[in-house]
Each structure stands twice: as C-alpha cells, then as structure tokens.
C-alpha cells in the first residue's frame, strides 16, 4: 500500500519538469508536449488526492481534464500546422512578428 503523498510528490516533480521543458525548448511542437506533461501531472495530483480523501470526484475531474486536453491538442496542433505553412519554421525564436 503506497501512501498517496508519494504520488503527489511525483506529480509535483513532473509538473516542475514540464515547466522546465517548456522554457528550455525553443521548438513549438516540443513546448506543446511539455504542456501535455503538466496537464498529466495535474491529473496525477487529482487522482492521488481522490485516493487520499477516499472520494470519486477527483476521478471524474480527471476525465474532464483528459477530454479538454484532447480538444486542446487538436486545436493547438491545427494552429501549429497553420504557422508552419506560413513560416516554414517552428522555432519560437524565429517567430517574432508580434515583437513591438
């Protein structure tokens, strides 16, 4: 029987790694993957708290998070495809047309 705090610690660690990956990488697609890691860390935290408190609400929320993440991935990838068609590049340091 593993105590839920161990899972919660892992979730926090994954979230930190996701933030690190998001800021270290300069490629739009990999940064998008880093966002998915953070969403998954959130899911793990929800489930470990559901376990710690013995309630099913956390599990229901995880299903919603996964659905929203799927919708977000679809729209995000569509936007990335459009950006790539126009610029032929996914490097975030080359996409600076909005710079004032």
Minimum distance from CB of 94 to other proteins (Å)?
Answer: 11
Alpha-carbon distances of 24 from 14, 42, 67, 82, rounded to whole Å = 15, 21, 27, 24
Nearer to other proteins, 32 or 97 (CB): 32
Contacting other proteins within 56-85 (CB under 8 A): 56-60, 62-64, 66-75, 77-82, 84-85
Nearer to other proteins, 85 or 98 (CB): 85
DSSP per-residue letters across 33-53? HHHHHHHHHHHHHHHHHHHHH
């Amino acid at each position: 029987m593993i105590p839920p705090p161990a899972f919660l610690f892992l979730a926090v660690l994954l979230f930190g790694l996701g933030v690190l990956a998001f800021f270290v990488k300069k490629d739009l697609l990999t940064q998008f993957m880093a966002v998915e890691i953070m969403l998954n860390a959130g899911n793990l935290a929800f489930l470990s708290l559901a376990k710690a408190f013995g309630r099913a609400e956390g599990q229901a929320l995880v299903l919603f998070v996964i659905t929203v993440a799927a919708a977000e991935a679809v729209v995000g990838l569509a936007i990335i495809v459009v950006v790539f068609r126009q610029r032929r590049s996914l490097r975030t340091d080359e996409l600076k047309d909005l710079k004032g």
